[in-house]
Chain A
Amino acid sequence: MPVQYPTGVLAEHHAVRDRAGLFDIGHMGQLEVEGPDALEFLQWVTTHDVSRLDVGAAQYSLLCDEQGGVIDDIIVYRLAETRYLVIVNASNTEGDWAWIEGQLGRRGRGVNPDRVMLRRLSERTLLALQGPAATGVLAGLTPADPGALANYHAVETSVAAVPAMIARTGYTGERGYEISFDATHAARVWSALLEAGKEAGVVPCGLGARDTLRLEAGMALYGHELTRETNPYEANLERVVRHEKGEFVGAAALRAVRDSRPARRLVGIELVDRGVLRADYPILIDGAPVGSLTSGGPSPTLKKSIGMGYVPTAHAADGAEVQIDIRGKPHAARIVPLPFYRRPRPVPRSSSRKNA
């Protein structure tokens, strides 16, 4: 995926918020976990409770190491009774694969390695169609009903006559879909989606817009908000750490973090002064450095600069004033709730004035 297409990052960003954009995210890793012990194995390697997934449902989850550090953030899809798809970050694919394979031999939660089949779906690619127009555009190319697909649900069907999984997931804060299929058909499906979306104003989007969109949506980017040195509690991800499911890798360390309360917390920061926040800029409180930004940039939707970073828990209150050191000069900024941007909820058709 290029950083941008000829129209530029801003035009791509607005297209996704107002209409829809198409992203080639084929670089992301896709792993299949299948077999009678697939569920227990995924319970062992991930932090969320996989037993909560009905067939066709998906969950955002984490791989954590024994110290509770985040190895990767992932999405787990239950595609059939005993068959799961795991989508991981591109740059982590090799490491995740090796780590997951390595965990198989540990027989955690009583998993029998012969009853789990791990397959790397390197022949698969992934496209994301994101934005308010996405549902209508996709509906014209598939026998499935994308409009009926609930958030974080997936269906195996076809798109442009190519067998594909359509999932209602994304990384933009808009309603949208991710489509997984055999990469030999990549050009065909890509063109079909752009062609079908021409009238609705669908444009191809690059990495630049992907980053500004996810930042506005307050979503973590691995390598920035999440690393081996961060834990899920300080990253506001305790909802995906489910101790009630029993043992999993990192559970003991994570329980200790939970019980001792995290010392720092990931917060949203908006710049009050003029300028642009960037990753790695120091965060100051009363002039003293307390951390640094993990992400930053302009927010094309909100027309101000926003960022995220870790600050000591005692200073993490919404509205708190902080300063950001931009090239040696402190700039006024404040802590704001995440996400920065939430898509406007469509008014349900059934709502009527009678009820008002």
Chain B
Amino acid sequence: MNPTTNRYTKEHEWVRLDGDVAVVGITDYAQGELGDVVFVDLPEVGRTLSQGQVFGVVESVKAASDLFAPLSGEVIEINAALADAPDLVNKEPFEGGWMLKVRPSDRNELGKLLDAAGYEAHLKSLH
């Protein structure tokens, strides 16, 4: 259920390379833990992120949770659909619920992330 085309952080973000663009979101596990998402606070286009930095906040009915940048780079697009339909994060965490597109500044950083099998092992360790 966690796509093998993605890389993952231990904080439950995913990133998928699409040509020279990295698409970022949160995992199905993360949305399930958060419950109904009601607001996603995203950075402005043009901002430069560094790997591991807080780039935004996802707010569910229950709580606010920080979002961590899986890769360094410049934000080139944010998912405007989330402004009116934040529940896309719940319904389609790996597709329509994506959050950011980033132009990665250092692809070697991918090596610090988990692959799908590694992420699933990480999830098991949490329970």
Would B35 and A275 count as touching, CB distance under 8 A?
no
Task: Give the A-B pair count, Cβ closer than 8 A.
Answer: 38
A240 part of interface (Cβ distance < 8 Å):
no
Decide: A208 and B62 in contact? CB cutoff 8 A. yes
A278 adjacent to chain B (CB < 8 Å): yes
Interface mask (B32-59 → A, CB under 8 Å = 1, otherwise 0): 0001101101000000000000000101
Bound-state Cα–Cα, A10 to B90, Å: 12
Are B61 and A300 neighbours in the complex by a CB distance under 8 Å?
Answer: yes
Q: Are B61 and A298 in contact (CB under 8 A)?
A: yes
A197 at interface (Cβ–Cβ under 8 A)? no
A9 near B64 (CB under 8 angstroms)? no
Report yes or no: B64 in contact with A276, Cβ–Cβ below 8 A. Answer: yes
Contacts A275-B41, A276-B64 given; does A298 touch B59 at CB 8 Å: yes
Residues of chain A contacted by B41 (CB below 8 angstroms): 275
Please determine whether A8 and B36 come into contact, CB atoms closer than 8 angstroms.
yes
Q: A305 to chain B: which residues have CB within 8 Å? A: 39
Asked if A3 contacts B62 (CB within 8 A), the reply is yes
A349: Cβ under 8 A from any B Cβ:
no
Contacts of A276 in B (CB 8 A): 38-39, 59, 64
Given A9-B62, A208-B62, A276-B64, A298-B38 contact (CB < 8 Å) = yes
Q: Chain B: which residue is nearest A3 at the CB level?
A: B62
> Does B61 contact A9, Cβ atoms closer than 8 Å?
yes
Chain B residue at minimum C-beta to C-beta distance from A275:
B39
**Nearest CB to that of A11 among chain B residues?**
B36
Closest A residue to B63 using CB positions: A278
Task: Report yes or no: B59 in contact with A10, Cβ–Cβ below 8 A.
Answer: no
A217 → B minimal CB distance (Å) = 16
Residues of B near A278 (CB, < 8 A) are 63-64
Alpha-carbon distance A275/B63, docked complex (angstroms) = 12
What are the residues of chain B within 8 A of A300 when measuring CB–CB? 61
Q: Does A354 contact B (CB under 8 A)?
A: no
Q: List the A residue with the shortest CB-CB distance to B41.
A: A275
Residue from the list A10, A274, A275 in contact with B61, Cβ < 8 A: A10
Q: Please, which residues of chain B bring their CB within 8 A of the CB of A3?
A: 35, 62
Smallest CB-CB separation from A303: which chain B residue?
Answer: B38
**A353 contacts chain B at the CB level, 8 A cutoff:** no
Q: What is the CA–CA distance of A300 and B61 in the complex, to the nearest angstrom?
A: 9
Q: Note all chain B residues with C-beta closer than 8 A to A274.
A: 39, 83
Annotate A249-277 by CB proximity to B: 1 below 8 A, 0 otherwise: 00000000000000000000000001110
Contacts of B38 in A (CB 8 A): 10, 276, 298
0/1 string, B61-86, CB within 8 A of A gives 1: 11110000000000000000001000
**Option from B36, B39, B57, B83 in Cβ contact (under 8 Å) with A327:** B57
Residue A212, interface by CB 8 Å: yes
B39 to A, closest residue via Cβ: A276
Chain B residues in 8 Å Cβ range of A327: 57
Q: Give, as a whole number of angstroms, the nearest-CB distance from A273 to chain B.
A: 11
Interface: A297 (CB within 8 A):
yes
A9 CB contacts on chain B under 8 angstroms: 35-36, 61-62
User: Considering only CB atoms, which chain A residue lies closest to B66 in the complex?
Assistant: A327
What is the chain A residue whose CB lies nearest that of B60? A9
Shortest distance from the beta carbon of B31 to any chain A beta carbon, whole Å: 11
Give chain A nearest CB distance to B67 CB in angstroms: 12
CB contact list, A1-43 vs B, under 8 A:
3-4, 8-10, 13
| Sample of 16 A–B contacts (CB below 8 Å) | A3-B35, A4-B35, A8-B36, A9-B35, A9-B61, A10-B36, A10-B61, A13-B61, A212-B61, A274-B83, A275-B59, A276-B64, A298-B38, A298-B39, A298-B61, A300-B61
- Using CB atoms and an 8 Å cutoff, list the residues of chain B in contact with chain A: 35-36, 38-39, 41, 57, 59, 61-64, 83
Q: 3 shortest A-B CB distances, which residue pairs? A: A276-B59, A9-B61, A10-B36
Supply 16 further A-B pairs (C-beta < 8 A) apart from A3-B62, A276-B59, A298-B39.
A4-B35, A8-B36, A9-B35, A10-B36, A10-B38, A13-B61, A208-B35, A208-B61, A274-B39, A275-B39, A276-B38, A298-B38, A298-B59, A298-B61, A305-B39, A327-B57
